[in-house]
Structure 1
Amino acid sequence: MLTLNAYAKINLALDVLYKRPDGYHEVAMIMQAISLSDTVTLTRQPEDIELSVNIRGLAADASNLAYRAAALLRDYAKTAQGVHIKLDKRIPLAAGLAGGSADAAAVLKGLNLLWELNLDMEELSKLAAKLGSDVPFCLYGGTMLATGRGEKVAPLSPLPSCYVILAKPAVEVPTAWVYGQFKADKALARPDIAVIRQYLELGDLAGVAKRMVNVLESVTIPAYPEIARIKEFMLEYGAMAALMSGSGPTVFGLTESLEQAETVAGRLKARGVPEIFIAETVSEVE
C-alpha cells in the first residue's frame, strides 16, 4: 500500500496566445501548488484496476482520470499488475484547481513505485500529457512555467511562502466553453510573464501579487459576476491580491499571515460564499 497527497494548483498568471490548428489554445501560465489536497491510496492487487471515491457526483469507473492514469501506465509498462485506487477528495470538483489532474499525477507517481517500473520523470511526464494539460504540472508541483497547451513545464524560482484563501461560488463553468468564448481584444490586461519571473527570482511576494493576471476572467466574469464580487470582497477584507484560478469559478487571495487569511475567510463566509478553504503554498512535492 502507498498513500500520496495530490495537491491542488492555482494560476498566478494565465495568458492565451492563439488557437492552434489542433483545436487547443497556446497558453503561457505560471502555476503554483498549494496545500489543499486529495489523498490517494494505492493498494496492489492481482490484475484488475478498481477505484473507490468518498463523494457523490464523481465517477468511480474507467472515465475517472485516476483510473485512466493507471490503465495508461499499465499498458505502457506492459505489466499485468493491478491496483485498488482510493480517492479521498477534498479539492472541490470543477473548480479550476486541477483536482482530477492532481489525482492522475499521484497515481502515475505512486504506481511507478508500487509496481517497481523505474520510469524516470520525463517518461511519466509524456504519459501525463496524454491524460490532460495540467497533469504534467501536477507531477512536479512547486512553481512552474507552463506553455504549449499547458503540458510543457519548466521550474521557476519558488513563490515566497504565503497563505491562500480559496472561495468557490455555487456555479459551474465549463472549461471548453470559456476557451471557446475567449477573444484577445476583450482582455483588459495581459500578464507580463517575464516581469513576474523577475519578481519570483527576487523573492518579492508583493511584486508578484501586484502583477497577477488571468485573461480568462474576460470571459467568465461577465457571465458570472459573483466571481468579480468575491475578488472585490477579498481585496476589501485584506488580501494582497485576488484572482480567478484557471477557467474558474474559484477565486483565490494571497495573504502573508494565517491571521489575515482567517479574517478574509470569515468575512467571505458571512457573505454567504458556500465553499471556502485556507491553504499554504507548497514549494516541493514529494
Structure 2
Amino acid sequence: MLQLFAPAKINLGLQIIGKRNDGYHNIHSLFFPIKSIADILTIELAQSVTLICSQELDIPNENNIVWKAANLLKQRYNIDMGAKISLQKNIPHGAGLGGGSSDAATILKGLQLLWNIDISPKELSETASELGSDVPFFLQDHPALIQGRGEIVHPFMFSCEWTILIVFPALHSNTSRAYAGLYTSNFPKIEVNFIDALQQSKDDCSKMKDLLFNDFEYSIFTQFPELAEIKSQLYTQGAFFASMSGSGSTMFGLFLDTTTAHKAKSAFLAQQCIVAPFT
C-alpha cells in the first residue's frame, strides 16, 4: 500500500493573456505548492479500479478526476491490474487551490509506481494535461511559472522566510463565471514579468502589491464583495501582500513573520484559516 500527499497551490499573480482558438485561455501565473494543506490518497493493488472518498462530493465516481486519471492510465498502457483508491479530502473544493488537479497528478505518479509502468516525464505530463490544464504542475514539487492554458510549466527555485495566512470563506466561486466576467477588449495582453516582480519583491516586499495582481479579482469581488473586505482586512492586519488564489474563493496574505500572521488570524474568527510557512 502507498500513501501519497497531494498539496494545495496558490497563485502569486495571475494574468489572463487572451482567449485561444480552442476555447481555453492563455494564462501567465506563478504557482506555489502549499504542502501544509494536502489531500491524502492511499492506493493498493486490486482487481479493478475503485474509489472511496472521505466526503460526499455530489458527483458519481466516474466523474471524479481521480477515477478518470486512474482509468486513463490503465487503458493507455494496457494495465491488467486495478487499484483500490482512498481519498481523504482536506483541500476545500472550488476554492482556487487546485485540489482536484493535485489529486489527479498524485494518483498518476502513485499508480506509475504501483503498476510499475515505464513512462517518461514528457509522456506523463501529456497524459496529465488531458485531465486538466493545471494538472501537469502538480507532477513536480517546486514553484513554477505557468503559461499556455496551464500545461506549460517552468519550475524555479525560490526560498524566503515569509509566512502565509490562508483564509477560506464559506463561498464557492465558479471558474466559468470568473472568465465570463473578464474584460476582453484588451486581449491579447502583453505578459508581465512575474519572475522579475517576485525577485524585486524579495528584495523589497513593499513593492509586491504594486507588481503582482490577479485578473479575476475584479469580476469575483463584484459577485462577492466580502472577499474584497477580507483582502482589505489582511492589509490592515499587517500583510505586505494580499490576494485571491486562482478564481477564488480562497484569500491569502503574506507576512514577514509568523507572530504577526498568527495575530492577524484572530481577525478572521468567522472563517477557517491556516498559518503556514510560505516555502
Query: Could you tell me the TM-score, scaled by structure 1's length?
Result: 0.89
Question: Does residue 44 in structure 1 map to residue 41 in structure 2?
Answer: no
| One-letter code aligned to 2:19 | K
Superimposed CA distance per residue, residues 99-126 of structure 1 (whole angstroms, 9 cap, x where no aligned partner): 0111111100111111110212211111
Q: Distance in 1 between matches of 2:200 and 2:106?
A: 28
Paired residues of 1:49 and 1:70 also in contact (CA < 8 A): yes
Question: Corresponding residue for 2:195?
Answer: 196
Consecutive unaligned residues in structure 2, runs of 5 or more = none
Residue 56 of structure 2: SS of its match in structure 1?
A: coil
Q: Distance in 2 between matches of 1:204 and 1:193?
A: 18
Question: Does residue 278 in structure 1 map to residue 279 in structure 2?
Answer: no
Q: Distance in 1 between matches of 2:135 and 2:150?
A: 9
Q: Output aligned runs, 1:94-243, within 5 Å.
A: 94-184=94-184, 193-194=192-193, 196-197=195-196, 199-200=198-199, 204=203, 206=205, 209-210=208-209, 211-243=211-243
Q: Distance in 2 between matches of 1:70 and 1:84?
A: 10
Question: Corresponding residue for 2:251?
Answer: 251
User: Against the structure 1 CA distance between its residues 8 and 84, is the aligned structure 2 distance closer, same or farther, given a 3 Å change threshold?
Assistant: same
How many residue pairs get aligned? The number is: 276
Superimposed CA distance per residue, residues 15-60 of structure 1 (whole angstroms, 9 cap, x where no aligned partner): 11111111111111111101211111111112x1111111123546
Q: CA deviation at 1:156?
A: 2.3
Q: CA deviation at 1:89?
A: 1.1
Question: Corresponding residue for 2:12?
Answer: 12
User: Against the structure 1 CA distance between its residues 222 and 134, is the aligned structure 2 distance closer, same or farther, given a 3 Å change threshold?
Assistant: same
Residue 179 of structure 2: SS of its match in structure 1?
A: helix
Superimposed CA distance per residue, residues 55-107 of structure 1 (whole angstroms, 9 cap, x where no aligned partner): 12354611111111101111111111101111111111110000011111110
Q: Distance in 1 between matches of 2:219 and 2:191?
A: 19
Superimposed CA distance per residue, residues 159-208 of structure 1 (whole angstroms, 9 cap, x where no aligned partner): 52432211122221110111122114699xx9964253364399547267
Question: Corresponding residue for 2:78?
Answer: 78
User: Against the structure 1 CA distance between its residues 107 and 52, is the aligned structure 2 distance closer, same or farther, given a 3 Å change threshold?
Assistant: same
Consecutive unaligned residues in structure 1, runs of 5 or more = none
User: Against the structure 1 CA distance between its residues 233 and 77, is the aligned structure 2 distance closer, same or farther, given a 3 Å change threshold?
Assistant: same
Paired residues of 2:178 and 2:219 also in contact (CA < 8 A): yes
Q: Distance in 2 between matches of 1:160 and 1:136?
A: 25
Query: Could you tell me the TM-score, scaled by structure 2's length?
Result: 0.91
Q: Distance in 1 between matches of 2:222 and 2:197?
A: 32
Q: CA deviation at 1:138?
A: 1.2
Residue 234 of structure 2: SS of its match in structure 1?
A: helix
